[in-house]
Amino acid sequence: MVSQSHATAAADPFEVSEAFLKRRRLVDLTMRCILFLAASLSILVTAGIVYVLVSEAAHFFAQVSIVDFLTDTQWTPVFQEKHFGIMTLVSGTLMTSAIALIVAVPAGTILSIYLSEFAQPQVREAIKPILELISGVPTVAFGYFALLFVTPLFQTFIPGLSGFNLLVPGIVIGIMILPFIVSVSEDAMRAVPNSLREGAYALGFTRLQTSVRVVIPGAFSGITAAYILGMSRAVGETMVVAIAAGQQAKIAVNPLEGAATITAYIVQISLGDLPHGSIAYLTIFAAGLTLFVITFLFNILAFWLRRKYREVY
């Protein structure tokens, strides 16, 4: 009788642990299915966007030669004499994006170095929420800030600056993408092992020399990824350029004058009353497909740079 009770007591823990393992396996399988469905949903949404763009743009290119689309220097799809030169919109988009990068890349790199290598923890914890607040400001507010405040301010000391121009929106977009560049760059710099910094200090490097000659090369892949991410964000910006850059579709050569961008044109036409299926309506999808290709190429470039220059510690 005693031996039987001991055997029963010894079997109880085994039965409990087996039930626990079954529940654990069930939870693990459920979570795997949920995460797989979430990942699949993002892929399906992307595939759906590509399908809509390609299928609708195919109707456009059935009526417009792709050679004319890429080489024509005029964009007048809603005029009686229609021209479909997308490079007029691409030039304005690239102009504002280039100005944004000229502002954001140096400022973002310097601020990242400061936060990663020089700032005290209290200062770092105070600056980072401010940057997050900047990224949380609606883009419409930035657009009217550029049009109603920054542009009149710049007109006081920049002669010839038009009320609608590419310079001011580019600068404002640079401020907008600054938090993205700082956040990613600082994370990449802080991931560099301290042993490399200590080795540089042992060789007599100052903190600034260590940051420039050791930390930045060690985090180069992450920093370049931050730049490309900021570029993609600048290319896709809509409301700032739609409000402050103007709607005149022309080859952008002077940042002091206004010009249309791809996103601003899409907003302009989407708000109109063009008949569905018309050639002017289909230009929305052709322009959207062009924008998608540009950002896709930037993402491929970022992926290639990250793989080529990535340091594994």
Tokens of 174: 């640079």
Residue 208 and residue 194: Cα distance in Å, rounded?
15
Residues facing residue 75 across a β-bridge: 84
What pLDDT shows up at residue 124? 85
| Residues 311, 196 contacting (CB under 8 angstroms) | no
Which residue ranges make up each domain of the chain? Answer: 2-62, 70-309
Q: What share of the chain has pLDDT > 90, as a percent?
A: 18
> 8: buried, middle or exposed (CB in 10 Å: 19+, 13-18, 0-12)?
exposed
Which tens digits make up the pLDDT trace of 216-233?
888 888 888 888 888 888
Residues facing residue 84 across a β-bridge: 75
Report pTM: 0.83
For residue 275, is it left (φ>0), alpha (ψ between -120 and 50) or beta?
beta
The CATH class given to the 70-309 domain equals: mainly alpha
């992307």: which residue's tokens?
46
Which tens digits make up the pLDDT trace of 252-290?
888 888 888 888 888 888 776 777 778 888 889 999 999
> 223: buried, middle or exposed (CB in 10 Å: 19+, 13-18, 0-12)?
buried
> 240-260 b/e with 16+ CB inside 10 Å = b?
bbbbbbbeebbbbeebebbbb
CA distances from 266 to 250, 270, 272 (A): 15, 6, 10
